[in-house]
Amino acid sequence: MNYVKFNSKLYPCAVSLAMDLVGGKWKAVILYYLRNGEKRYNELRKEISTITEMTLSLQLKQLEKDGLISRKVYGTKPPVKVIYRLTDLGITFIPVMEAVSDWGKGLVVEKGEFVSDPL
């Protein structure tokens, strides 16, 4: 059997690698919200209102560690300005996100509904 090695980590296949990088409940969502340009932490927090601050912080750190986003800090004294953006590697994921989004929208049209206020 052939394995895939990426960043010193072994995977049984390329799908396993991809899911490690973007899988889970929030990583792809964060990448989706960064697809059109850079955002500050609070902008992401407002747009993804159901994510906790701790989870957002942890997922941003993991995405940065894996090379999908970059984090740039402006200033030295609090409050500092922190900007997140997709890296070149993260940008390569945009067509995948768009395909998944289109698939999800198709499911909603066929079997669900769009609602303006979930509460």
CA atoms within 13 A on the CB side of 102: 6
Work out the mean pLDDT of the chain and round it to a whole number.
93
46, amino acid identity: K
pLDDT at 110: 94
Amino acid 48: pLDDT: 94
The confidence score (pLDDT) of residue 79 equals 85
Instruction: Give the pLDDT of residue 119.
Output: 57
Q: How far apart are CA 82 and CA 56, in angstroms?
A: 14
Q: List domains and CATH numbers for the chain.
A: 10-96 (1.10.10.10)
Higher local confidence (pLDDT), 69 or 2? 69
Overall residue count recorded for the chain in this entry: 119
pLDDT given at position 116: 84
Ranking 10-14, 41-45, 101-105, 115-119 by mean pLDDT, the lowest is: 115-119
Closest among 70, 71, 87, 86 to 35, alpha carbons compared: 86
In angstroms, rounded to a whole number, what is the distance separating the alpha carbons of residues 94 and 96? 5
Radius of gyration of the chain (CA): 16
- pTM metric for this prediction: 0.89
Q: Is the pLDDT of residue 78 over 90?
A: no
Residues in Cβ contact with 47 at an 8 Å cutoff, skipping those fewer than 6 apart = 33, 39
pLDDT at 2 over 90: no
Residue 96, both tokens: 């995948």
Provide the residue type at 100 as one letter.
V
Does residue 78 have a cis bond before it (omega within 30 degrees)?
no
Give me the pLDDT at residue 118, please. 62
